[in-house]
Structure 1
Amino acid sequence: MLTFTVVAPKGGVGKTTLTANLGGLLRDFGFRVLLIDADVQPSLSKYFELGHIASYGVTKLVSEGFLTRDCISTVRLPFGEGGFKGVAELDPMPDIDIVLSDTREGKLQDWLGQRLDRLVRISMALNQQAVASAYDFTIIDTQGALGHLQDAAVNAADILISPVTPDVLSAREFIDGTRHLIKRHEEAANMGFKVPAMRAVINRTENTRDSREMSSLIREGYLQMRGRVSTVQTAIHSAVAFRKAATARVPVHWIDPQRAADAMHMLLWELIPSLQGVYAPNHRNHGVPAPVFAEAVMESSGIGLQ
């Protein structure tokens, strides 16, 4: 199982949108996907329509250190509804499973603050053999601020995905905040904890001079972070399709199977190189190659099997 944590030192940069759309695309490739909403403002929990709502959520997962069935809700995607182009080509199985956020009052953050093992509370749950064998990918959405819950989500990741928007204030704040986040986790590395590699994604770009200049500034800023951060080449453009997808509560490649779908495929190929050239069944270029399963994905990405 490969775990991504989507993280940023500030809110409003598109973490939840990226999480939901990567999860939806991986599902349509045929992979078994688990989403975890580790944000105290539960945006991911509201992105998709739910077919089953579990009795518990992220609070029980973290506090018990186990993922049990009563924490797992399921996403209901509207197959056969809405007239989405090409969706008839998709297999309605497997479901996307999701652990919902239920920690708005901050009680979980307070509880974690008193625990010496707070960094490993999520990884403990995901490293169970039953979980690792049930899912190919886990994607964790996080809050837009530093905190104990974000720290636990970072520690659980194999790869960090960090979206940043190309405007001058956000870019400067983001680079400074990312430096602080990396320094914070390098201190944890001194105690034997891992510091996952971070892949920065320039999100919501526009075809303007300012946007291109800010994208260059962001790429140059990350080069100064001692190899801890690399920027993917794929930039995600600001497109109305993403807003339409959120309104319809479906992945964006259902709404726009061309430009937005192309961008999400290219991003996924950069994050998981062994999937290059593989398309979702509703994509115009879908052909014969079958999805590569998680073990081969992890080997080609240089990540050891758990």
Structure 2
Amino acid sequence: MVIWTVANQKGGVGKTTTTVTLGGLLAERGHRVLLVDTDPHASLTYYFGIDAEELEVSVFDIFMRGKQITREEILQSLCPTQAEGLDILPASMSLATLDRAMGNKGGMGLLLKKALQLIDADYDYVLIDCPPVMGVLMVNALAACQRVLIPVQTEFLALKGLERMIATMALMRGSKQALSYTIIATMYDKRTRASLEAYKALKETYQDQVWSSVVPIDTKFRDASLAQTPPHMFASNARGVFAYNTLLTYLLQLTPEA
């Protein structure tokens, strides 16, 4: 099982869009894919028309059950999506209480990793959508993955959020091997100087850590979310979908076989 975590300590940079689109494209290529929503705002969950406030079980139960969670309980928490081979482990609003309830307890940073190990044989790829704040949820998501995908909107305020994200990963590293990561320039508008300058600054600062292409602004992403459908199913020829398909091919070249 290959696990990618989609994270940035700034909101509105395209984390959920990246998670949904890459997950959908992986499923289209024949892989068994699980999306995990660890954001209390539950944007990924609502994307697929699932009401986070009405869920009986969610990713919250993984944290509350801790080491006692079973494979069967995890599988019962999953919801199918409109795309064949693409499931979601939904979020609930109660995730917002986790830092207060568990933040001071030891050994809380590996709960998600250990839970996903229980369903290792059920999925080829897992994509984890993170909240934009450092806490128990982001720590778990980063600890669980082999690679961090960092969407960065091509404007200068978003570059500051990226600096915080890189600093967070450095703090988590400790004596362990550094986290592998790929920076993805999103919402790129070649007509604006802001996008051009921000992308140039990204490449100059982070060099080979930045994917060599960009995800352009594309209104089809918004339309696909309204239709509660992965973008590749809603508008397969959209330029944004083409960009993510190119990104996926690049990421798979960096990643061992699932």
TM-score, normalisation: structure 1: 0.75
Give yes or no for the alignment of 1:106 onto 2:96.
yes
Match of 2:171 among 175, 178, 184: 184
Give yes or no for the alignment of 1:40 onto 2:27.
no
1:71 and 1:115 mapped to 2: Cα distance? 25
Measure how far apart 1:104 and its partner are: 4.0
Query: Does the 8 Å CA contact 1:38/1:101 hold for their aligned counterparts?
Result: yes
1:93 and 1:246 mapped to 2: Cα distance? 17
Measure how far apart 1:54 and its partner are: 6.1
Aligned residue number for residue 182 of structure 2? 199
1:14 and 1:248 mapped to 2: Cα distance? 18
Partner SS state of residue 201, structure 1: strand
Aligned residue number for residue 298 of structure 1? 256
What does 1:16-55 align with in structure 2 at a 5 Å threshold?
Answer: 16-49=16-49, 55=56
Aligned residue number for residue 125 of structure 1? 115
Give yes or no for the alignment of 1:222 onto 2:206.
yes
2:10 and 2:80 mapped to 1: Cα distance? 28
Aligned residue number for residue 248 of structure 2? 268
Amino acid at match of 2:10: K
> Higher relative contact order by CA 8 Å / sep ≥ 6: 1 or 2?
2
Query: Comparing 108-117 with 156-165, which one deviates more in the overlay?
Result: 108-117
The count of aligned residue pairs is 249
Amino acid at match of 1:271: L
Cα deviation digits, residues 198-245 of structure 1 (max 9, x gap): 11100000012331111010122224xxxxx81111210001111111
Aligned residue number for residue 239 of structure 1? 218
Aligned residue number for residue 253 of structure 1? 232
Identity %: 26
2:94 and 2:203 mapped to 1: Cα distance? 34
2:229 and 2:113 mapped to 1: Cα distance? 28
Aligned residue number for residue 144 of structure 2? 156
1:250 and 1:30 mapped to 2: Cα distance? 18
Structure with more helix by fraction: 2
Measure how far apart 1:180 and its partner are: 2.1
Query: Does the 8 Å CA contact 2:152/2:185 hold for their aligned counterparts?
Result: yes
Amino acid at match of 2:183: A
TM-score, normalisation: structure 2: 0.88
Q: What stretches of structure 2 of length at least 5 have no aligned partner?
A: none
Query: Does the 8 Å CA contact 1:54/1:70 hold for their aligned counterparts?
Result: no
Query: Does the 8 Å CA contact 2:170/2:178 hold for their aligned counterparts?
Result: no
Give yes or no for the alignment of 1:74 onto 2:80.
yes
Aligned residue number for residue 128 of structure 2? 140
Match of 1:116 among 106, 114, 130: 106
Partner SS state of residue 91, structure 2: coil
1:170 and 1:262 mapped to 2: Cα distance? 23
What does 1:76-91 align with in structure 2 at a 5 Å threshold?
Answer: 77=82
Give yes or no for the alignment of 1:63 onto 2:69.
no
Runs of 4+ in 1 over 6 A off after TM superposition: none
Measure how far apart 1:146 and its partner are: 1.0
Partner SS state of residue 232, structure 1: strand
Query: Does the 8 Å CA contact 1:6/1:162 hold for their aligned counterparts?
Result: yes
Amino acid at match of 2:151: P
